[in-house]
Structure 1
Amino acid sequence: MKKIILTVAAVFAFGFANAQSGDQSGENFGFSKEDIFVEGNLGFSSSNDKNTETKVNNFSFTPKVGYFLADNFVLGVQLGLGSDKTKVSGTDAGKNSNFNAGVFGRYYFLELGKRFKTYADAEVNFANSKYELGPIENKSNGVSAGAGLGINYFVTKCVVLNFSLRNILSYSSSKPDVAGAKSTSQFGFDLNGNVANPFATGSFGVGYIF
């Protein structure tokens, strides 16, 4: 959480340092009804437990396309690609690969100056995952849903930087792709965004408004 707070602070500092000239010129930044919005977000996290000699690396990429039904509300579709790899004492202990596709809605509710817009969003996804360890391969299918918070910074009127905490509130259900298997579900609330969804991490992105 400390890293997230420092990162957000750095984004704010960068934005305020570079926004003064544009703000003083009287330019307006924001979204309008019928805008089309394309966005791509990257997330990465790494942990290293020296007590158990366990290292875990997580990566995610989420492209989105949305259409503004109102000046402050966008509805769209998204894809998700992600993976996490675990090593114990330097030996591979398994890799998870994830793919999902779904829909999202985003509501902008607060402006911090002219260039910063904060939002809350929610998403529902159908997901597929695969676990690999040597010759062992297990697949599962499921559904996930979540709600999170984020902030946009307008570099120009069309180019937008994004920082988000996905799935602060999250739910997921998955079922192994084998006959007779039963589903497993998880529900949670976590400001680190990592309870029930493999894509639930803080992420940075870039968007473009058409």
Structure 2
Amino acid sequence: MKTTLCTFFFFVSICLISYAQTSKGNFLLGGSFGIINEIDDTDLNNVLFSKEKQTFFHVRPSLGYFIANNLVIGLNPNYSSQKTILTGEQNYRSQIFKTFSISPFVRYYKKLNEKVSVFGQANIFSFERMNSEIISRVANVEDKTTSNRTSLSPGFTFSPGLVFFATNKLGIEVSLGLIRYSFTRAKTKGTSIQGNISEPIENTNTNRYAAFSLDPSRFSLGLQFYFSR
């Protein structure tokens, strides 16, 4: 059996005076959240585990300020958690990952008409911290690994999108695809416990990432509120 639940979240803002949405001096506030719950109790073709359950949760707010007409700068703090549980007749494995990241952005709007605008958003770099815990029990032997990973990714990510202004304050937006290049330096510290043996974990690594995608899985939907001081 497989079930999926997706919930769409928006931030509510009360505005008393009506202003143009993307004018200089206005603010942008919005975001989304989602919950996905999947259970797969079919044959996983694994001799240790026969059932898998995954839960994923994320919150992605955004806050920006229009420094000029149609041009906004802001921040995208993100939080996500992912939990995977694998079970078998006598075996168990739990994986929990919790991630916080923050990234500044620049966005430019181009109006098609009074209700619809296209936009392009660029993120310059991202800072991320991830905590993880992995517990496994096989043949009555339990292993546990905990770690935290911090990374800084200078680079460039560009995402195109379209916004429909349902009211003068509320925009419903969609984005699809991205162009990205980044250079990531990450540092990991933690502890691995196997039976009665405990060992520290510490390593540093770097990697480069480049992507161009119009994959439908990159599709996202969000609400943004536009308001003035």
Length-normalised TM-score, structure 2: 0.63
Q: 1:207 maps to which residue?
A: 224
Select the structure that is richer in helix: 1
User: Structure 1's 109 and 133: CA in aligned 2 closer, same or farther, altered over 3 A?
Assistant: same
Contact preservation (8 Å) 2:159, 2:178? yes
Q: 2:209 maps to which residue?
A: 187
Contact preservation (8 Å) 2:27, 2:66? yes
Q: CA-atom RMSD, angstroms? A: 3.2
Structure 1 gap segments, 5+ residues each:
1-27, 195-200
Q: 2:79 maps to which residue?
A: 81
Amino acid at match of 1:106: R
Q: CA deviation at 1:188?
A: 3.0
Select the structure that is richer in strand: 2
1:79-115 CA-partner distances (Å, limit 9, x unpaired): 110122334457544121110123111112352x432
User: Structure 1's 48 and 183: CA in aligned 2 closer, same or farther, altered over 3 A?
Assistant: farther
Number of corresponding residues? 176
**Greater Rg by CA:** 2
Secondary structure, aligned partner of 2:163: strand
Tell me, in whole angstroms, the C-alpha distance in 2 between the residues paired with 1:208 and 1:87.
38
Tell me, in whole angstroms, the C-alpha distance in 2 between the residues paired with 1:92 and 1:168.
36
Q: CA deviation at 1:180?
A: 5.3
Tell me, in whole angstroms, the C-alpha distance in 2 between the residues paired with 1:202 and 1:67.
25
1:111-142 CA-partner distances (Å, limit 9, x unpaired): 2x432222111222211001111342111001
Contact preservation (8 Å) 1:36, 1:65? yes
Q: 1:169 maps to which residue?
A: 180
Q: 1:151 maps to which residue?
A: 162
Partner of residue 37 from structure 1, selected from 28, 53, 75:
28
Task: Determine if the alignment matches structure 1 residue 120 to structure 2 residue 120.
Answer: yes
- Identity over aligned residues, as a percent? 23
Structure 2 gap segments, 5+ residues each:
1-18, 45-50, 136-143, 191-200
Contact preservation (8 Å) 1:60, 1:82? yes
User: Structure 1's 58 and 149: CA in aligned 2 closer, same or farther, altered over 3 A?
Assistant: farther
Tell me, in whole angstroms, the C-alpha distance in 2 between the residues paired with 1:159 and 1:116.
12
Contact preservation (8 Å) 1:141, 1:177? no
Length-normalised TM-score, structure 1: 0.68
Written as runs of structure 1 = structure 2, the 5 A alignment for 1:22-33 is 30-33=21-24
